[in-house]
Amino acid sequence: MPIKITMPALSPTMEEGNLAKWLVKEGDTVSAGDVIAEIETDKATMEVEAVDEGTVAKLVVSEGTEGVKVNALIAVLAEEGEDASEAAKAAEGGESAPAKEAPKAEEKKDEPAPAKAEASAKAEAAPSKSDDAAKGERVFASPLARRIAKDAGIDLKTLKGSGPKGRIVKADVEKAREEGVPAGKAADAPAAASAAKPMSDDAVLKLFEEGSYELVPHDSMRKTIARRLVEAKSTIPHFYLTVDCELDALLKLRKELNAAAPVVKTDDGEKPAYKLSVNDMVIKAMAMALQAVPDANVSWTEANMVRHKHADVGVAVSIPGGLITPIIRKAEQKTLSAISNEMKDLAGRARNRKLKPEEYQGGSTAVSNLGMFGIKDFSAVINPPHATILAVGAGEQRPVVKDGELAVATVMSATLSTDHRAVDGVLGAELLAAFKRLIENPMGMLV
């Protein structure tokens, strides 16, 4: 009677897999435990063993086929003494034959732990019949070892296997990676090829109870934000510096300047000509600090370092569905009142999505302030083409030591995220030190 081999479920959530490679061909004789194929899932490449002995009558699914459903027929074995061609016809014709497949993950869960470990070790140590594509040289390695080596850029030819008959296994590749074995030809593969595939929408939804959610389609802004954040965190080597700034002098000056604001007539009646916020003064301080440390007022490109002549400060503004960073151009040259009024205009039009592209594109740095929400400190993601972004926390009263005595001061934490390609640690520290001086001695922002 023909023996059907179906696509096994290699994990509880697996619905389909890719038949990466057949390790047998039609007419081959196999025994129980022989590795017959390599199956790719979204997380790994795994070997499939025959669960019975016989002759390969037909390979129903060709290697390289993607999206093969779990339990779909992939091959047919003929039992001893059975005609292979007749077995293939009978199986394809739908005769009732027992479907024999690799044990599913659900069936394995009742095995005792030692049995699981033994099965796992057996799968890892089973010989591979794959040949190296380079010169036809045979490199015996498990599929998992090959995958890890490819991701790490390690040439398998440089490794000595510890598995049966010198086969390279997972432990050999991980040891080589830890020891810093030089990359071989595998390192020439594009980095994108080794990126892990994200979970499919269906796989994510399976993790949640049906009826406990609703699907909200992404709008173009959310998609753009997601793409740029992934790009920023994937391609920019971030590092972070944090400093605490005392705000008492700044708060005193702000109060005095607001009290001295002239009154002007508007359509809504008489109003002060300006009303400064702490954020307005942070923008000015950041702009002046960049002028004091010009080597930090830069952007990175592969060919050149772009050194900006002015401090164009982007300011993160929350809007429905996302955020945007309108830019205060030449902020170091503007008065606090001009920055305040311009910021109010930009923020208002940003929330109504009325900004022009030139009002939010470019810039040389950015400020993100979550202090109004009581956030003490955080680290912001750099917004290309910037090389820095300043994350500002809430001002709060904290105990401080002054002249050897304990006192209370209003303190704000500020964290600078920098692109390490453009701004090194010392340079970033110099920029933060200049910012701190201006915040704690705010009269310097009036000159």
Active-site residue set: 420
Sign of CA dihedral 134, 138, 143, 145: negative
Looking at residue 24, its amino acid is V
Angle CA 319–321–322, to nearest 5: 60
Contact call for residues 24 and 58 (beta carbons, < 8 A): no
Beta-sheet pairing, 54-59 with 73-78: antiparallel
In what helix (H) or strand (E) does residue 412 lie, and over which residues does it extend? strand 405-419
At residue 327, φ and ψ (nearest 5 deg) are -115, 130
- What is the rounded end-to-end Cα distance, in angstroms, of the chain? 95
Determine the Cα–Cα distance for residues 109 and 368; give it in Å rounded to an integer: 49
How far apart, in Å, are the Cα atoms of 325 and each of 159, 200, 308, 346, 369?
50, 31, 18, 9, 12
Contact call for residues 341 and 277 (beta carbons, < 8 A): no
C-beta neighbour count of 80 within 10 angstroms = 8
Beta-sheet pairing, 16-22 with 65-69: antiparallel
DSSP string, 159-218: ----SGGG-B-HHHHHHHHHHTPPP-GGGGS-GGGGSPPPPPHHHHHHTS-TTS------
Contact call for residues 434 and 293 (beta carbons, < 8 A): yes
List Cβ neighbours of 68 (8 Å cut-off, separation of 6 or more). Answer: 7, 16, 17, 18, 19, 61, 74
Considering only CA atoms, which of 286, 299, 292 is closest in space to residue 421?
A: 299
